Structure 1
């Protein structure tokens, strides 16, 4: 083959590779597997971890409603927040829902989580429940209190006890994973427990009652969605589709609250009425409210994180100060709003 023909052959090969690459990446959006010359090539899904909590349930509702547009997004449910955090740290999942205090702990150990969404703000959904004979928080002194071994459990319990002049040393702390709360209460292994929905609704039917809830510390229990910066760079379309599906689901819940409750109740293992009643116990910020909370140098979420970090240092939940620059990433939200604005003009 002469030099001229070699050059033509090389150009043809390069052209073919470009076409194949374009076909490959164009088709990854809506398929979990690609047919690549008769070979099935798996598409890497975006794995999103959660534990069971009504505030996270719109993710699963979005999936059932088909709002992820066939994008390869896989929801992975763990029995506790501790397991979800471990999976995120081990790169088993690329994104996870966490409370803001748990994000601060990830920053403390040198990880680089980026908050891309305020999922919900607890307004009564997180609670301390007790036996009928325990009428108030002050009566917890000397009692056995079940609490999950997480930053949220420790923080929430500490804030509650502060309200009545008690500390952790005044009670008997019993380690209790979220999936053990009901059984330990029924077996008389604990007198009270730090828990949240849907466990709250179940335990109300078993004789427990609420003696403290998160509405008493407004704005302090915030759930967020985090991803690594690497995930943002590698899977921008998947991340945007995830958030678009989230906000579309919030609209569905707002316009069809009963239908949404009917769909969510079986997974939560509570009644439809319990789900409807629980709506008031949390705030799901919409797109505009998310941008207000997260964007700018004076972002309210940054202020909340700064105050929270200070309280966690005082109570030794954090061992050192954490750097809070750049961990809030509103760019995905801005892209979504830009797309919505463009579509409305067309």
Structure 2
């Protein structure tokens, strides 16, 4: 899954501004009348059930129930899909929760999480050819995609080990280059990345996993976001998506012939094999039921997670030059807690649709 790079922030903020102006100019009448919606997702294990939802007709069945059309789009470019969302070209997009905060929300787009799919439970890894403990990274260079969840994972690993993150130099490298470079370049000793990229990296002689996302359960969330106004004016869109999602997840959890069919679709969409798919499933915590998802979203711990995320993002300058403090952007969690400016809430965790699903009211 391609994660956020600083190089795209200026473009993202510009598109966010244009999108906001467009909304103000057209008002809410057009949004209220929508019957066709576009949802984009990229190749990542937490989003792959959408490929089955499309090919099996499950998404169409739920969309038909609400008298709407929902087009599921497998996007080639992660950042590009987020920019399309900001510009209003698509209605919802799958993101790492941190990117939802630093791109559309930080850019001024009132954004709501309406579905949580999973959290990384070992998919994201800090690894080294020479170090055997996170503490040994002090004073060293660590290669990663800067300002991404890899960067966040490294910071959290260092904090937990009692190491000042400022004492470690991060070196930016793209997700398309990091695996081959770690394998072939002796000078690259330490790195942070995610599956499946890390599978070859861990095969390098001496390579050791120092820390992974299972050490910070729930902090690297994968979610689907929509513009708050769109979801308010068109609740049937979110209901249809969640209805289809939990039907698909129920098939995957139950096992049997249908689950094998679903696994085959996911495997093909990811360009991997059965073993590769299982490896990623093993280190991904899916919320298989809406009740589990709702409990996670409304727990007091969820607000603490968002506080950790926003603190990292502000420290890295990802709120933009106009942000004078970590409180510049308001985040409203599902339990009603507001972090930051209550008059500038741009990220909202909306668990109402998950609650409807849990109560069997979709």
Aligned to 1:197: 195
Unaligned runs of 5+ in 1: 1-24, 30-43
Matched residue SS, 1:224? strand
* 1:157 partnered with 2:154: yes
CA distance in 2, matches of 1:170, 1:300: 29
Matched residue SS, 1:238? helix
Distance 1:202 1:94, change over 3 A: farther
Shift of 1:61: 2.6
Aligned to 2:350: 329
Aligned residue runs from structure 1 range 63-212, under 5 A: 63-69=54-60, 71-80=69-78, 82-105=79-102, 106-131=104-129, 133-188=130-185, 190-205=188-203, 208-212=207-211
Contact 1:53 1:197 survives alignment (8 Å): no
Structure 1 vs Structure 2 CA RMSD: 3.1
Aligned counterpart in structure 2 of residue 320 of structure 1, from 318, 322, 326: 326
**How far does the alpha carbon of each residue in 1:201-235 deviate from its partner, in whole angstroms, 9 at most, with x for none?**
34445665422101112222222211002321454
**How far does the alpha carbon of each residue in 1:159-181 deviate from its partner, in whole angstroms, 9 at most, with x for none?**
12223343444444222232322
Aligned to 1:309: 310
Aligned to 2:48: 57
Distance 1:254 1:184, change over 3 A: same
CA distance in 2, matches of 1:206, 1:236: 49
CA distance in 2, matches of 1:244, 1:206: 43
TM-score by length of 1: 0.73
Shift of 1:311: 5.3
Contact 2:311 2:326 survives alignment (8 Å): no
Contact 1:52 1:79 survives alignment (8 Å): no
Shift of 1:249: 1.5
Aligned to 2:269: 267
Contact 2:43 2:74 survives alignment (8 Å): no
Shift of 1:308: 3.5
**How far does the alpha carbon of each residue in 1:15-46 deviate from its partner, in whole angstroms, 9 at most, with x for none?**
xxxxxxxxxx9xx97xxxxxxxxxxxxxx441
CA distance in 1, matches of 2:76, 2:165: 28
CA distance in 1, matches of 2:269, 2:202: 18
Aligned counterpart in structure 2 of residue 47 of structure 1, from 39, 44, 51: 39
Moved over 6 A (4+): none
TM-score by length of 2: 0.70
Distance 1:47 1:224, change over 3 A: closer
Aligned to 1:239: 238
Shift of 1:292: 2.2
